[in-house]
Chains A and B, each alone.
Chain A
Amino acid sequence: MKIQIHDLNKIYDNGKRALSDVNLEIENGMFGLLGPNGAGKSTLMRILVTLMKPTEGVIKVNGFDLQKDRGEIRKMLGYLPQDFRFFTKLKTWEFLDYAAGLSGITNKTIRSEKVDEWLDKVGLFDVRERNANKLSGGMKRRLGIAQALIGDPKIIIVDEPTTGLDPEERIRFRNILSEISQHDVIIVLSTHIVGDISSVCQNLALLNNGRVEYNGSPEELIKKTKGHVWQVNTSGFEYEMLKEKYAIISTIPSEDGWEVQLVGDKLNVNHAIEIEPNLEHAYVYFMEYLTSKTNF
């Protein structure tokens, strides 16, 4: 499976440019789309799931053109949008049954088995008779992912799936995606929460203002940040100065002030200790210092 995106541009009717010359190649596994709010992630996702037409550019999915072969591509898709609510009058299992039907499972018995299997997988079997709109936020997300996955799609697109979930739900959610990604599928995960990506994505793209600022593995991104992450025990005036000059990642109170983690190109503080970067550090360093530089 491969998604190839060439020179993709999207300009809305009001003139706002949402995507600018996006070029990406996404292969099997989990692919993360990281970027701040308004970076163009959802636009790219909606284009990928055939809900929106790009202004320019070509997207090929396993050789199928997204503009010409929507039918074929839709057959491969499973989609969980960002704002996912439910049909108010359907029960949990009925909604999943509807999704299963539309994904091509026409045999009633098979559909019923699949529905139960997925309800079980996402931990909703016990609430299968409950109206979908009566589920908790986490349950709704789980139902959302179940409906996206029920037809065994080859391409799964999930937009901001963990927003508003508690840590336990978030972990459960990541695990489900992680498990699926072991199969021959592409999972495109859009998020502005770095933790979602770091734990599961093999590759990612950083989007900012509609542009792809980075495309590669999380490790590579982290590597690029090595030597730019420090930890400083500080207080008073120095702390205020650091806040102004550097991107602070974390601030933890200590006995004589604060233990601060920060990123920056150069740090003129003697007692700073260079520490190993993680993806969050890399993302902040990237967004704060390198987006304006070319050839990052």
Chain B
Amino acid sequence: MTIFQTIKIVARFEMKTLLRSWFFRIFAGLFIVGLGIFNVAVFVDASNAPWLYRALPASIPYANLIILNLGQAIVAVFLASEFLKQDRKNDTVEVIYARSMTNAQYIIGKTLGILSVFIILNFIILILGMGFSFLSGDSAKGIGEFFLYPILISIPTLVFILGLSFFLMTVLKNQAITFIILLGYIALTIFYLNEKYYHLFDYIAYKIPMMNSTVGGFGNLNEIIVHRSIYFFIGIGLIFFTIFKLNRLPQSKTFRFLPLLLTFFFVFVGFYFAYVYVNLKKDVIEQKKQMIALNNKYAYYPRVYTDKCSLELEHLGDQIKIKAIIDVSNRTNQNIDTLIFCINPGLEISSIEINNKPVNFSRELHLVKIADFIPSDPNDKKQITFNYQGKINENTHFLDNDPDKYKDNFNMEIFRARKRYAYIQKNFVCLTSESLWYPISGVTYATVRPAFYQPDFSIFKLKVKTSKALIAVSQGEVKSYENGEFEFDNNIPLPKISLLIADYQKYSVTVDSIEYSIYSTKGNDYYLEHFTEIKDTIPALIRELRNEYESLLDLKYGFKRFSFAEVPVHFALDKHIWSVVSDAVQPEILFYPEKGVVMEETDFRKRKKNTEKKMKENKEEVSPEELQCRIFKRFVRGNLMAPPTEWYQFSEVVDKYTFSLIPYYYTFVTRLESEKWPILNLALEVYLRERNEGNLSANRWFWRGITKGEKINLELKQSTLKDLIKKGIETTQEDDEDGESLTINDIILAKGDYLFSLFRARYGEKEFNTLLNDLIFKNQHKPFLFEKLESEIRNAYNDSISKEIDRWYTKTQLPGFLIKELETYKVLDGEFTKYQIRFKITNPETVDGIITMNIDLDDKNNNRPFGSDEPEQPDYSKKIYIKAQTSKEIGVVFSTEPARMNIYTSISENLPNNLVYEFSGFDDVKKIDMLDAINNIPYFDEINSPNEIIVDNEEEGFNYVQVSNESYLKSLINKDQKAKYKYTGIYFWSPPSEWKSVLRSGFYGKYIRSGMYTRSGDGTRIAQWNAKLPSGAYYDVYCHIEKINIEWNREKRKSNYNFKIYHDDGMDDIILADEELENGWNYMGTFYISPENAKVELTNKSIGKMVFADAIKWVKND
């Protein structure tokens, strides 16, 4: 009998036993039913499962196995420890032990038996998924993935957990303790360790990026194999340890210690793979840092300008061979003695020639240095020829993303995909300028010049030779030849070019002399069947959408072609510090992720069904053609035209601007260059994007903590824009929990929009926009200097903007807004009743500011889905410019009763930056004149009366006693989660056991309208207001209350307030019941109070679930 026959026999019977165990049957049954339901849910139209599940062949096996693996990792612990327990207890095993077989044969057989039952379960689940996937009409079909995922996910996990269970059972000899340790370990891995240290501890592969693409493969198969090998080999090692420690005399004395040696060997191999894995990750960070350091070294070195760039590229399987001929000139005012170029470090340079003469050069990572003299004379041109060949090192990409915080993967539903920036594979090539596949003059991102990004506008020519079966896509007019050769010719200068090679199918249409194309890989043109009726209408639709977008943007498309080209789902949609869109937007070409999976509105089947359903509800009759038109428009608007929504399904990777077309109108057409304020180009770009967009207003839900806009204000109050760009933003995990992590890009965008909006408000909307449009038009396909913009403004308005920009960039001053005397009442206009809103607003700071006033006329926002604070377009909106230290009275009149007013204070001292005024009913008719204007009024900088002394929770006189009831465990978990921003949401279902700050418009505050709240209790948590009264006198004492009564509070008990008012006669307890309270100031009594006794306390004793501490007012009696 061979070794394997014995193993097989043991395995077969172990498998039989397990398959008959009820524990396993129940587990398997639950998972088969559960995942069956999951698969049904994915494939039926009624469910809201994202298109992603049906679009990619990997989705179903990946999703099923990732869920199953969580369960089987736990169940395997029970089964593994059970068999060792049985072996010890049951004498029957002695009849087996007395047989002629080695301990290794026995344990391996047992292990394989357990593994086999799980593999059977895996395949049942996968066959189930495969069945659904093959039965479903438009789902992607693939077989390979169904075999790959069990190998990558299940087997290493099971081998490891079985090995670990055996090991612990062998060592501890106690099943209960083994369970506790292993289940604790599994929980720790799932809830805490899986994301740490590059997913090193994620043995379940729960968070390992493993999405497979039909276009580009896994994108990180090497990494995955290394990671999974760690656990596979350690598991094998631990199994050998079990063999060594098995309570049975070994078959042979000679090989007794062999299992122990193998234990060490396999555990060592596992650890070696862990070492390799960590180094793979660390090397990326290290190399990125080295590249940044190099860039810093040469960041201020003068560089040549690339006028022309001709490239001849040969695609050789997993390599490219390139001959690049570039024409350069020196447009700087310095002579250049060393030419600096960037070429990907994975590309080996064989020779460089200048004007056909070989030259010496040196390389440091991506930098190529050529000693050559070029005088400061734009007419003195040179031609440099580079010959190089190799692969692409992706570490050159996105150096502006902090390497230490660099996240190389992203989430999509339960899936995770590795980010990829470039590909050179046999059947697929994807190269962007970030790949440095052609020589780029100067350095790339440098922290010493963080926002400095000035690519040359060059005339590119590209020849590509690839396999006959593939199609190359790049910028310019293309000539293609039968033998896999392509020539791309550009007659306008571009800031960059890109190249895609794949088995594309091209569909195109020419509209108004522009060729619109879509390149999708073979088999991925699923969209065709959804637009069969509008083949002839497409040109008109494109024209309509283009006109719509261009009239919104007030700019014209600057190219002759526009293509949509498919790239793998892994293609990184990261954004640069200097750009508003992702790198998926390339000149003339927009890279769309495989079958549009992370884009909006790409599930055309579901959209059609939903639209039809809605039409039925509305009793609307629409032709199939019209229906398809609507779906097409929705897709284009939803992705390319930045629609008025901020809710994206895959918000981690895609936002409303990821695929925005703005670069085709500005970024790829021209550039505002400024040595001093390089970020101005981005500021202008974002202004152009936003300038004609409708204003939005939103509710603030109770549980909403601090918004991104408010975080921006807090950051800008403390640091200048210049410093923030330089040092970046530190945020904690707690700050990111609302899914709105603040990036430096957010601050630049907000601040940039603010700057140009100020100019617009100052110089007049139409005039200023026309000036900008002219400037862009005059500088098509070339950059223009800031000085040009300034001279245009000087000519038009006799004003200089340099000082303003300098302050904007280098100072922390922000505008601030105070509002008083808000009135809402009815007025008569002839015989009609109208609704008047009026208030006074002032900006006491030294910087000009803008507010946006939005008014909703009815309660339409009540129709919003529960929990949604998605912005909506208001009925009335106006941007109002308020100069520094000026005040205005604003009046607006409506024929319909307004329901709500939002005042957005934008970049300012104000928090919250969206002041919401709900109108529950307008006062009676006042017989006074209507005010429908914005009038300048005498400046005021105070909103309180002189005889009032107010202490707010944000002020010095306020303090609180923090007695926390937080459990030790909770405090331990929260130890590292100290939030940078102190404001949180109001969690009415679980108020905090300590005082926490919250922002709401209804709270009192000068600029910061905040309060503190805590869970009600025995009164040990106390808030205290101490006033500095001018003298002893009778004072009326008021408390400021924002009534936050949560209607769905189960107990229906509304908070009452227990105040202690200190005065000269002692202390009075004042209990304010909810029904006695009003929003705003509430009178609590009149007392004689000397300065030393001016104190009010509020305890957390309340019949409600929580209490709020805001402000106390002492009003001196005359």
Does B13 contact A90, Cβ atoms closer than 8 Å?
A: yes
Does A70 contact B250, Cβ atoms closer than 8 Å?
A: yes
Q: Indicate if B90 sits at the interface (CB-CB under 8 A).
A: yes
Does B99 contact A51, Cβ atoms closer than 8 Å?
A: no
Q: Chain A residues near B91 (CB, 8 Å)?
A: 81-85
Please measure, in the bound complex, the distance between the C-alpha atom of A257 and the C-alpha atom of B94, giving whole angstroms: 51
Chain A residue nearest to B97 in the complex (CB):
A51
Does A71 contact B249, Cβ atoms closer than 8 Å?
A: no
Does A71 contact B252, Cβ atoms closer than 8 Å?
A: yes
- Tell me the B211-249 residues at the A interface (CB within 8 Å): 248-249
Does B21 contact A104, Cβ atoms closer than 8 Å?
A: no
Q: Indicate if B975 sits at the interface (CB-CB under 8 A).
A: no
**Contact mask for chain A residues 20-39; partner B; CB cutoff 8 A; 1 contact, 0 none:** 00000000000000000000
Q: Indicate if B1 sits at the interface (CB-CB under 8 A).
A: yes
Please measure, in the bound complex, the distance between the C-alpha atom of A89 and the C-alpha atom of B95, giving whole angstroms: 17
| Distance from B505 Cβ to chain A, minimum over Cβ atoms (Å) | 54
CB within 8 Å for A50 and B92 given contacts A101-B9, A106-B5: no
Q: Indicate if A139 sits at the interface (CB-CB under 8 A).
A: no
Does B17 contact A70, Cβ atoms closer than 8 Å?
A: no
Does B1 contact A90, Cβ atoms closer than 8 Å?
A: no
Q: Indicate if B724 sits at the interface (CB-CB under 8 A).
A: no
Does A102 contact B96, Cβ atoms closer than 8 Å?
A: yes
Interface centre among B1, B16, B95 (most CB of A within 10 A): B95
- Tell me the A32-57 residues at the B interface (CB within 8 Å): 46, 49-53
Q: Chain B residues near A191 (CB, 8 Å)?
A: none
Does B95 contact A81, Cβ atoms closer than 8 Å?
A: yes
Does A104 contact B252, Cβ atoms closer than 8 Å?
A: no
Q: Chain B residues near A147 (CB, 8 Å)?
A: 95
Does A51 contact B249, Cβ atoms closer than 8 Å?
A: yes
Chief secondary structure at chain A's binding surface: loop
Please measure, in the bound complex, the distance between the C-alpha atom of A6 and the C-alpha atom of B347, giving whole angstroms: 77
Q: Indicate if B611 sits at the interface (CB-CB under 8 A).
A: no
Q: Chain B residues near A49 (CB, 8 Å)?
A: 94, 98
Does B249 contact A102, Cβ atoms closer than 8 Å?
A: no
CB within 8 Å for A71 and B92 given contacts A50-B98, A103-B99: no
Does A79 contact B94, Cβ atoms closer than 8 Å?
A: yes
Does A89 contact B94, Cβ atoms closer than 8 Å?
A: no
Please measure, in the bound complex, the distance between the C-alpha atom of A101 and the C-alpha atom of B16, giving whole angstroms: 14
Number of B residues with CB within 8 Å of any CB on chain A: 29
Q: Chain B residues near A53 (CB, 8 Å)?
A: 249
Q: Chain A residues near B12 (CB, 8 Å)?
A: 101
Does A104 contact B16, Cβ atoms closer than 8 Å?
A: no
Q: Chain B residues near A94 (CB, 8 Å)?
A: 13, 16
Q: Chain B residues near A86 (CB, 8 Å)?
A: 92
Q: Chain A residues near B92 (CB, 8 Å)?
A: 81, 84-87
**Contact mask for chain A residues 257-287; partner B; CB cutoff 8 A; 1 contact, 0 none:** 0000000000000000000000000000000
Q: Indicate if B20 sits at the interface (CB-CB under 8 A).
A: yes
Does A85 contact B98, Cβ atoms closer than 8 Å?
A: no
CB within 8 Å for A70 and B94 given contacts A89-B16, A101-B9: no
**Contact mask for chain B residues 70-101; partner A; CB cutoff 8 A; 1 contact, 0 none:** 00000000000000000000111011111111
Q: Indicate if B253 sits at the interface (CB-CB under 8 A).
A: yes
Q: Indicate if B6 sits at the interface (CB-CB under 8 A).
A: yes
Q: Indicate if B947 sits at the interface (CB-CB under 8 A).
A: no
Please measure, in the bound complex, the distance between the C-alpha atom of A77 and the C-alpha atom of B251, giving whole angstroms: 13
Q: Chain B residues near A46 (CB, 8 Å)?
A: 94
Q: Indicate if A75 sits at the interface (CB-CB under 8 A).
A: yes
Please measure, in the bound complex, the distance between the C-alpha atom of A89 and the C-alpha atom of B13, giving whole angstroms: 10
CB within 8 Å for A90 and B94 given contacts A67-B253, A102-B9, A102-B101: no
Does A98 contact B13, Cβ atoms closer than 8 Å?
A: yes
Chain A residue nearest to B94 in the complex (CB):
A81
Please measure, in the bound complex, the distance between the C-alpha atom of A148 and the C-alpha atom of B94, giving whole angstroms: 11
Does A51 contact B16, Cβ atoms closer than 8 Å?
A: no
Q: Chain A residues near B1 (CB, 8 Å)?
A: 104, 106
CB within 8 Å for A75 and B100 given contacts A80-B95, A101-B9, A102-B6: yes
Chain B residue nearest to A86 in the complex (CB):
B92
Does B100 contact A89, Cβ atoms closer than 8 Å?
A: no
Q: Indicate if A226 sits at the interface (CB-CB under 8 A).
A: no
Q: Chain B residues near A106 (CB, 8 Å)?
A: 1, 5
Q: Interface extent on A, as a size class?
A: 35 or more
Chain B residue nearest to A46 in the complex (CB):
B94
Q: Chain B residues near A87 (CB, 8 Å)?
A: 13, 17, 92
Does B17 contact A90, Cβ atoms closer than 8 Å?
A: yes
| Distance from A6 Cβ to chain B, minimum over Cβ atoms (Å) | 19
| Distance from A173 Cβ to chain B, minimum over Cβ atoms (Å) | 17
Does B248 contact A51, Cβ atoms closer than 8 Å?
A: yes
| Distance from B996 Cβ to chain A, minimum over Cβ atoms (Å) | 57
Q: Chain A residues near B13 (CB, 8 Å)?
A: 87, 90, 94, 98, 101
Please measure, in the bound complex, the distance between the C-alpha atom of A46 and the C-alpha atom of B91, giving whole angstroms: 11
Q: Chain A residues near B97 (CB, 8 Å)?
A: 50-51
Give which listed residue, A51, A89, A101, contacts B17 with CB less than 8 A.
A89
**Contact mask for chain B residues 738-778; partner A; CB cutoff 8 A; 1 contact, 0 none:** 00000000000000000000000000000000000000000
Q: Indicate if A114 sits at the interface (CB-CB under 8 A).
A: no
Does A52 contact B101, Cβ atoms closer than 8 Å?
A: no
- Tell me the B1-17 residues at the A interface (CB within 8 Å): 1, 5-6, 9-10, 12-13, 16-17
| Distance from A278 Cβ to chain B, minimum over Cβ atoms (Å) | 33
| Distance from B11 Cβ to chain A, minimum over Cβ atoms (Å) | 11
Does A79 contact B98, Cβ atoms closer than 8 Å?
A: yes
| Distance from B729 Cβ to chain A, minimum over Cβ atoms (Å) | 60
Does B95 contact A104, Cβ atoms closer than 8 Å?
A: no
Q: Indicate if A228 sits at the interface (CB-CB under 8 A).
A: no
Q: Indicate if A74 sits at the interface (CB-CB under 8 A).
A: yes
Q: Chain B residues near A77 (CB, 8 Å)?
A: 98-100
| Distance from B244 Cβ to chain A, minimum over Cβ atoms (Å) | 16
Give which listed residue, B17, B99, B253, contacts A102 with CB less than 8 A.
B99
**Contact mask for chain A residues 228-250; partner B; CB cutoff 8 A; 1 contact, 0 none:** 00000000000000000000000
Q: Indicate if A68 sits at the interface (CB-CB under 8 A).
A: yes
Please measure, in the bound complex, the distance between the C-alpha atom of A53 and the C-alpha atom of B21, giving whole angstroms: 34
Chain B residue nearest to A80 in the complex (CB):
B95
- Tell me the A97-133 residues at the B interface (CB within 8 Å): 98-99, 101-104, 106
| Distance from B644 Cβ to chain A, minimum over Cβ atoms (Å) | 63
**Contact mask for chain B residues 1065-1103; partner A; CB cutoff 8 A; 1 contact, 0 none:** 000000000000000000000000000000000000000
Q: Chain B residues near A101 (CB, 8 Å)?
A: 5, 9, 12-13
Q: Chain B residues near A67 (CB, 8 Å)?
A: 253
| Distance from B873 Cβ to chain A, minimum over Cβ atoms (Å) | 67
Does B16 contact A70, Cβ atoms closer than 8 Å?
A: no
Does B17 contact A79, Cβ atoms closer than 8 Å?
A: no
Please measure, in the bound complex, the distance between the C-alpha atom of A75 and the C-alpha atom of B252, giving whole angstroms: 13
| Distance from A281 Cβ to chain B, minimum over Cβ atoms (Å) | 33
| Distance from B111 Cβ to chain A, minimum over Cβ atoms (Å) | 17
Chain A residue nearest to B5 in the complex (CB):
A106
Q: Chain B residues near A103 (CB, 8 Å)?
A: 99
- Tell me the B99-156 residues at the A interface (CB within 8 Å): 99-102
| Distance from A146 Cβ to chain B, minimum over Cβ atoms (Å) | 11
Does A99 contact B17, Cβ atoms closer than 8 Å?
A: no
Q: Chain A residues near B95 (CB, 8 Å)?
A: 79-81, 84, 99, 144, 147-148
Please measure, in the bound complex, the distance between the C-alpha atom of A99 and the C-alpha atom of B20, giving whole angstroms: 19
**Contact mask for chain A residues 140-163; partner B; CB cutoff 8 A; 1 contact, 0 none:** 000010011000000000000000
| Distance from B224 Cβ to chain A, minimum over Cβ atoms (Å) | 37
Q: Chain A residues near B249 (CB, 8 Å)?
A: 50-53, 70
Give which listed residue, A51, A70, A83, A148, contacts B252 with CB less than 8 A.
A70
Return the 3 tightest CB-CB contacts between A and B, nearest first.
Answer: A74-B100, A89-B20, A101-B9
Given A74-B98, A84-B95, 16 further pairs, Cβ under 8 A: A50-B97, A50-B249, A51-B98, A51-B248, A67-B253, A70-B252, A71-B100, A89-B21, A90-B17, A98-B96, A101-B13, A102-B9, A102-B99, A102-B100, A104-B100, A106-B5
**10 chain-A/chain-B pairs, Cβ below 8 angstroms:** A46-B94, A50-B249, A68-B253, A74-B98, A74-B99, A77-B100, A85-B91, A87-B17, A88-B17, A90-B16
Residues of A within 8 A of B (CB): 46, 49-53, 67-68, 70-72, 74-75, 77, 79-90, 94, 98-99, 101-104, 106, 144, 147-148
